[in-house]
Structure 1
Amino acid sequence: MAPRALWKGQLRLSLVSIPVEIYSARNSGARVSFRQIHGPSGKPVRYQKTVEGVGPVDSADILKGYETDKGEYILLDPDEIDAIKLDTKKTLELVQFVESSEIAPIWFDRPYYVVPTDELAEDAYRVVRDALRKTRKCGLGQLTMRGREHLCAIRPCGDGLLMETLHYKEDLRAADPMFSGIADAASDDELLEVATQLIEKKTAPFDATAFEDHYASALQDLIDRKRRSRKTPRAKADDKDKGGEGENVVDLMDALKKSLKDSQGGARRKKAS
């Protein structure tokens, strides 16, 4: 099945707007997934929302509860939360550029492919890709998707562009409390030399195909063997259980030159003041 675009809009660099589509880079169907089955009846297990002393409840009666440090819940209606969700903006503007190596791995969340929507967008798309590659920079911006605003980094990836959502500062725990118990002492010189030589000896270009998920392979092998065996218990699955168009870039060179001129003019005005 062809992948479905999660977002369509404009990738903007100053006055240059590039129509793009964004796709998840993760293959969610690659791993084995299970349904819980009731052994005696062979029917799928369903989850029912219940309240102690009340029993099953209707979804329409469920509110969101924020627990405070006083041991009470601040109750919010789902409609109140929906009301503050952001409209999906159709523009991802690159507002800042940083060295690609400057962002530590801990900040990265999810990867997405950024693809030009048509041939007319490819020229501008390639210029942005090659400029990022030449400067070894990645572009930062914010993207609204599914009602939430995501901090994003854009950088070259093969022939295209990769977008990675980043965590906000509040999303991550401080590292200092975790590492504060480690003694601040220098490593033994001889041991450090041996460890360094071992690392150098085992250094090689990264190749993901050299690593295998042995658990996933063993699990798939188990399923295949069980499928071939007539002794394997089976349960019948019911059918009910199965579960923007943007502007064309007319004159890319003029737009880039005007963007650069405006940027330099703003810098001179600030200096003069």
Structure 2
Amino acid sequence: MATRPTWQGYLRLSLVSCPVALYTATASGSEVRFNMLHNATHNRIKMIPTDPETGPVDRSDIVKGYEIEKGRYVVVTDEEIKSVRLETTRTLDIERFVDESDIDRLYWNEPYYLVPDGDMAVEAFTVIREAMTAAGQVALGRLVMHQRERLMALEPRDRGIVAFTLRSNREVKTAGEFFDRIPEQKPNPQMVDIATRIIEQQEGPFDPSQFNDRYEDALRTLIKAKEKGSTVTAPAEPKEAEVIDLMEALRRSLGQTGGGERRKPAAKAPARAGGGGKSAAKAPAKKAPAKKRA
């Protein structure tokens, strides 16, 4: 079945606009989901809407209400909700361009793919995308999605545009609320040096294929074992961390990660045979890794 767009409307840069569609760029979390069953029959439990005073309620009699105080609601109909329409309900209007580094990673949220909606939209979409690429900045715009107006950050990628929802100021808590509780003190410089060397020995490129959900894998193993009638026993509780001297722990950690020596630079590849005495061509410089986001 074809993926349905999360939002459809128009992308607009000043007087240039084109129809676009927005698709989620990520899948949902764990695919292992459990249903609620009756213990005796293993029949699936039905969740029946119930009024605490009158009992079961037909779904056609359910309305939306906003609680303005304990037990007091304002009832709002679907038609009234639809009447609250902003321009951003159907238009993603680019308002500003900023440097990506200006946006704190705490604000980055969900990623989406933005694509032209129909063949007639391709030309204008391509013009906007290439102009954004030339500018080298992130475009900011707003749209209404899931009954909320959301700030979006747009950046060109390949033939399309990646759009991230950005959290609002009210959603991001102040760091000082938590970090101010940490006592201010200067660590031992020698300990910091050892910890830095441990980090250097564990450096490497980001490969998402190496970070599977091991908990979900363990759940699948458990389900397969239960399906075959096997008895599953809980593993032993992990032992509490041994209380040892911090300097000793750092030194032992350094020994486990590489013997305490700093990483040596990679040896140069020998010149290819038959090169006519000329030195081997230099390999192209690697691109800087993409910035990580929250």
Whether TM exceeds 0.5 here: the answer is yes
Does structure 2 conserve the Cα–Cα contact (< 8 Å) formed by 1:66 and 1:73? yes
Higher relative contact order structure (alpha carbons within 8 Å, sequence separation ≥ 6): 1
Could you say if the C-alpha distance between residues 67 and 182 of structure 1 is closer, same or farther in structure 2, counting changes exceeding 3 Å?
Answer: farther
- Residue 108 of structure 2 corresponds to which residue in structure 1? 108
Could you say if the C-alpha distance between residues 193 and 126 of structure 1 is closer, same or farther in structure 2, counting changes exceeding 3 Å?
Answer: farther
**In the TM superposition, what is the alpha-carbon distance from 1:153 to its structure 2 partner?**
0.9
CA deviations over 1:66-99 (Å, ceiling 9, x no partner): 365xxx3441103287266436732101101111
**In the TM superposition, what is the alpha-carbon distance from 1:115 to its structure 2 partner?**
1.2
TM-score by length of 1: 0.71
Matched residue type, 1:164: F
- Residue 272 of structure 2 corresponds to which residue in structure 1? none
CA deviations over 1:175-231 (Å, ceiling 9, x no partner): 21111111223333222233333333323232211211101112223334444x378
Matched residue type, 1:192: V
Matched residue type, 1:185: Q
Does structure 1 conserve the Cα–Cα contact (< 8 Å) formed by 2:154 and 2:164? yes
Separation in 1, partners of 2:63, 2:120 = 49
Separation in 1, partners of 2:89, 2:68 = 32
Residue ranges of structure 1 left out of the alignment (5+ in a row): 233-273
Structure number having the greater helix percentage: 1
Separation in 2, partners of 1:197, 1:134 = 40
- Residue 76 of structure 1 corresponds to which residue in structure 2? 74
Separation in 2, partners of 1:83, 1:132 = 33
Separation in 1, partners of 2:181, 2:10 = 48
Q: CA RMSD in A?
A: 2.9
Separation in 2, partners of 1:132, 1:205 = 28
Larger radius of gyration: 2
Separation in 2, partners of 1:24, 1:193 = 43
- Residue 192 of structure 1 corresponds to which residue in structure 2? 192
Does structure 2 conserve the Cα–Cα contact (< 8 Å) formed by 1:65 and 1:73? no
Separation in 2, partners of 1:8, 1:179 = 41
- Residue 288 of structure 2 corresponds to which residue in structure 1? none
CA deviations over 1:215-270 (Å, ceiling 9, x no partner): 1112223334444x3789xxxxxxxxxxxxxxxxxxxxxxxxxxxxxxxxxxxxxx
CA deviations over 1:4-57 (Å, ceiling 9, x no partner): 1122221111122132111111213862222111132232112234455x2525
